[in-house]
Amino acid sequence: MAYASVGTDPSGATPTPENVFRAGSITKLFTALTVLSLVDDGLVDLDAPLSLYVERVGAYEGVLVRHALEHRSGIPDPADDPDFGFLDVLLKDPSREWAPEEIMAFVPAGALDFKPGSAYAYSNPDYTMLGLLIEEVTGLPYHEALRSRLLDPLELTNTYVAEFEDGPAVFGGYYELGLNQILPLTFDYTSIATASWSSGAIVSNGQDLHTLLSALFAGEIISPDLLTQMTANPEHGFGIYVPGLTSETPIFGHDGRTPGSGTWVVHAPETGMTVFTVSNARHLRVTPATVDVAEAIAVPGVQLVPNN
């Protein structure tokens, strides 16, 4: 393992590979794999209506399980509405515990931006709905189903669902209030974590993400057919895609953004290498430096080109 770190957390500590970070939307990879494990077990049909498995919120007509996995449901994301100010809503009461039904209440039942399957639009509610599916099909809380089907079998000891279970302390972050105001993130994270839930509440580190992605492409998590379907479209696979890069050698991963953390993970199955980068101050962006790191560490000899 090779790593480099610059900067500190609010206490002055310098990050190491053992530190854990808020992974943001990399959570969707974990949620997708849990759903696909249910498909392998014959408990869920990818081409069945999502409403067949989710009764706790109103139905979205025409939305299949497959559509939610690949962000082709048409279910709008309230976080995309600048007039609504979703983060501001969450920060009004940082200690509040949000239920998934309350988050979905911001998206009226039946409200769709387009006909399901006809277009792509990244939507956190897609994965909130999949979290509800996991709970209703397994009869377990989301975090317990995730642990029994994924985290414990793979011995991902540094990974957990924040605010729903205990785990290693998160490496401290900073919150950007303005162009010249970057302050230590000290407020209660309960509201953000519980609202993010199955779309963004995972805490993890590079080693666990490498273990997960290595096991996935070694055929240890889901069947070969489902892995093929999951990765068939590199722009919007099932909880997996190439974040900001293209390559002659297949690469897969995800990125994440949450206050105090910007994350980016990419795995090259042909080489077995993984790159995990994280910023605990600003949202992480794919830059020429990121490309150089990926080429040097993760996929040696492969030319990586930033997407336009």
Query: Strands 245-247, 174-178: parallel, antiparallel or unpaired by DSSP?
Result: unpaired
Tell me, what's the pLDDT at 243? 72
The CATH code of domain 21-298 reads 3.40.710.10
Question: Where do the DSSP E strands lie in 180-251?
Answer: 181-184, 202-204, 245-247
Tell me, what's the pLDDT at 284? 64
Tell me, what's the pLDDT at 306? 46
Tell me the C-alpha distance between 72 and 62, whole Å: 11
Tell me, what's the pLDDT at 308? 44
Give the three-class secondary structure for 81.
coil
Structure tokens at 105: 């209440």
Tell me, what's the pLDDT at 290? 63
Please list, residue by residue across 162-182, b when 16 or more beta carbons sit within 10 angstroms of its beta carbon and e when fewer do: bbbeebeebbbbbbeeeeeee
Q: How many CA atoms lie within 13 A of 78 on its CB side?
A: 18
Task: Name residue 1's amino acid.
Answer: M
Tell me, what's the pLDDT at 285? 63
Q: What's the first-to-final CA gap in the chain, in angstroms? A: 30
Tell me the C-alpha distance between 42 and 272, whole Å: 30
Angle at 29 between CA 25 and CA 34, to 5 degrees: 130
pLDDT, one tens digit per residue, over 31-88 is 999 999 999 999 999 999 999 999 999 889 999 999 999 999 999 999 888 778 888 8
Tell me the C-alpha distance between 30 and 198, whole Å: 8
Give the three-class secondary structure for 56.
coil
Contact between 211 and 274 (Cβ < 8 Å) = no
Tell me, what's the pLDDT at 54? 97
- What are the structural domain ranges in the chain? 21-298
Structure tokens at 32: 């997708």
Tell me, what's the pLDDT at 1? 63
Contact between 150 and 202 (Cβ < 8 Å) = no
Query: What mean pLDDT, rounded, does the chain reach?
Result: 89
Residues of the chain with pLDDT under 70: 1-2, 4, 177-180, 282-308
160 Cβ contact partners less than 8 Å away, ≥ 6 residues apart: 143, 151, 166, 167, 202, 203
